[in-house]
Amino acid sequence: MEILANAIAVAGKAIGAGLCMGIGAIGPGVGEGNAVGKALEGMARQPEMAGTLRSTMIMGCAIAETTGIYSLLIAFLILFAL
What is the per-residue pLDDT for 27?
87
What is the per-residue pLDDT for 3?
92
CA angle 21, 23, 24 (to 5 degrees): 60
**Exposed/middle/buried for 62, CB within 10 Å: 0-12, 13-18, 19+?**
exposed
What is the per-residue pLDDT for 25?
87
What is the per-residue pLDDT for 44?
93
Give the model confidence (pLDDT) of 15-66 as tens digits.
Answer: 999 998 888 889 888 989 999 999 999 999 999 999 999 999 999 899 888 9
Residue 82: pLDDT over 80: no
Torsion, Cα 41 43 46 49, to 10 degrees, reads 140
